[in-house]
A and B are shown apart, each in its own frame.
Chain A
């Protein structure tokens, strides 16, 4: 059961081979056993989860046929969850109980899924290693001295260690795809606007997008079917007809044009990652895809532009944490301004403070044109690169990350080195395009390698089709860490 696909779990529940209560308890036991070492969860509440499981069992007994009914799903602690502690990995929200449900949580609840705890993450999703969490670093199940990636590292470690069948994440610069790659999982960042941001604690609003992390592309499709959809409470939610993201999974790949950007295979790409990705491209060709060389000439500017745009938006979004309406407030202060200064100095960790300072500076008087406007122009160039590429190919394929997982502490003291982890994933966020990562082999120290797939706007069904066909021909996604 721990290794079962969502479809298999749904089948077992429908045929009464197992109840949702039993299934939930199974995963709770696994969490109890493994979480003390891995630190993937910030909050586990067996009573709440089991109450939801009992309700799901009643629905199933009455003949309910929703595909995720009764299946436990772990949620990144960025999603506000009614009655659950919701910290966003920060001390400043260490006492914040969700007064309402995020749209993503509402949707999973509506589908009858069981909330299996809240997962650890980089503070306010700012990080690529889950080391910036106030609640301590998460360990990679494939090697506990290594990071699981970030910022959705708790979700990735939970699924990789089979402490959860699936989990939610969010991706502002790679925070679903990078941990999926480093933890041997499948992860999908949908087209910007597909999943509602209502109740998803804001980092950089023009880039933030929620999505699933799971063991296979097929599971991702079922999860996206629940997560995606218009929500009037998110001003950038897109209004589109509902679609079934699993509809094209079985289509053959003959004639598919996969674009391979030379910029993502150059300097900086580790040999072990490059080798696994090359083998995956060969496998896709074997399945009928045609390889097309493409260029993403502005791709190299994506990290600099991102580190203007994301901190600028973050400095504005995080101004709400002032110790007045919710969250931590400093104990002693002289006056209101002193209360703000102390509350924010105590409540935010070093990386979050750093990004607020960058954002404050680039938006300050006299610097706007040189930084923010310049970055927005580069953002346009990056989006234009993709528009040109998609005239030649259906999907852009390459490595998700330049290296396999690095050791905990290895990059923590050097922000620039940490930021460069996301150089292949950030362009999709800047352009608003859907991106995913699927396992495609192992590199040094037997650590997983991820294959990055970027599609044109709203082509998630096509991307999932390609990933599923690849996973039918390979078994990388079925490997599990020895725990």
Chain B
């Protein structure tokens, strides 16, 4: 079933991507074309097929619970848009 304009707006909101009305219309057409391509999957019977999430099925490695990374706060914060006293600054979220 094709996506409605409201659905496109809802997805954009879930993805936290601002979208204009004109863009919503353009994107709607493109997404519906892509979902038509994706829809080819539905014709295939996959009853009983084990889903494959990963190329190598083995369990993830565990490591010892010890500190391996040094403190690199200053270096990592040097590329941040806004920092103060070692903290990342964002707009106020609690009134």
Interface bits A281-298 vs B (CB < 8 Å: 1, else 0): 000000000000000001
Cβ contacts under 8 Å, B31 to chain A = 354, 357-358, 361
Please provide the chain B residues from 9 to 48 with a CB less than 8 Å away from any CB of chain A in the complex.
Answer: 11-12, 14-19, 27, 30-31, 33-42, 44, 46
Cβ contacts under 8 Å, B17 to chain A = 341, 344-345, 348, 353, 356-357
Known A301-B44, A383-B52: A324·B88 in contact at CB below 8 Å: yes
Which of B40, B49, B54, B72 contacts A304, CB < 8 Å? Answer: B40
Q: Are B55 and A432 in contact (CB under 8 A)?
A: yes
B8 CB to closest chain A CB, in angstroms? 7
The answer for the CA separation of A398 and B72 in the assembled complex, in Å, is 48
Interface bits A301-331 vs B (CB < 8 Å: 1, else 0): 1011101100000010001001111111100
A157 CB to closest chain B CB, in angstroms? 27
State the majority secondary structure of interface residues on B. loop
Q: Are B91 and A99 in contact (CB under 8 A)?
A: no
Q: Is A43's CB within 8 Å of the partner chain B? A: no
The answer for the CA separation of A328 and B44 in the assembled complex, in Å, is 43
Which of A334, A341, A414, A416 contacts B16, CB < 8 Å? Answer: A341
Number of contacting residues on B, CB 8 A? 50
Q: Is B66's CB within 8 Å of the partner chain A? A: no
Please provide the chain B residues from 36 to 78 with a CB less than 8 Å away from any CB of chain A in the complex.
Answer: 36-42, 44, 46, 49-56, 60-61, 63, 72, 75-76, 78
Q: Is B86's CB within 8 Å of the partner chain A? A: no
Cβ contacts under 8 Å, B93 to chain A = 335-336
Known A357-B8, A383-B52: A324·B72 in contact at CB below 8 Å: no
A388 CB to closest chain B CB, in angstroms? 14
Which of B7, B16, B30, B36 contacts A354, CB < 8 Å? Answer: B30
Q: Which of B19, B44, B93 has the most CB of A within 10 A?
A: B44
Q: Are A304 and B53 in contact (CB under 8 A)?
A: no
Q: Are A326 and B79 in contact (CB under 8 A)?
A: yes
The interface of chain A, by Cβ under 8 A from chain B, is: 95-97, 99-100, 191-193, 206, 232, 235-236, 238, 298, 300-301, 303-305, 307-308, 315, 319, 322-329, 333-342, 344-345, 348, 353-354, 356-358, 360-361, 364, 370-371, 373-381, 383, 414-416, 419, 430-433
23 pairs across A/B with beta carbons < 8 Å? A97-B78, A192-B55, A298-B44, A307-B38, A315-B15, A325-B76, A325-B88, A336-B93, A341-B16, A344-B16, A348-B17, A353-B17, A356-B17, A357-B11, A357-B15, A360-B14, A361-B11, A374-B41, A377-B52, A380-B52, A416-B34, A416-B36, A433-B55
The interface of chain B, by Cβ under 8 A from chain A, is: 3, 7-8, 11-12, 14-19, 27, 30-31, 33-42, 44, 46, 49-56, 60-61, 63, 72, 75-76, 78-82, 88, 90-93
